[in-house]
Amino acid sequence: MTDKILRCRDVQEVTGLSRSTIYRMMERDDFPKATRLGVRAIGWRQSAVADWIEGRCDG
């Protein structure tokens, strides 16, 4: 099974976080790093976001 790439809007919808909060948390290493998809495009691996959510629920 391949890992789906989520764009920013998808990540916002799944996590409930704003775009600025996601970027701020990435800078602090509190959120999975995005993967560069092109010159002006980034995305997150669905599995990494799901693992992050799961980790938040465990705490």
Which of 46, 40, 39 lies closest to 10 in space, CA to CA? 46
DSSP 42: E
> Which pLDDT score, from 0 to 100, does residue 1 have?
55
Task: Measure the N-to-C terminal CA separation of the chain; round to a whole number of Å.
Answer: 28
Splitting the chain (59 residues) into consecutive groups of 10 residues, what average pLDDT does each group show?
Answer: 90 98 98 96 97 85
> Which pLDDT score, from 0 to 100, does residue 59 have?
58
Q: What is the domain count for the chain?
A: 1
Q: Which domain holds residue 31?
A: 5-58
Q: How far is CA 3 from CA 6, 25, 44, in A?
A: 9, 22, 10
| CA 18 to chain CA mean position, Å | 11
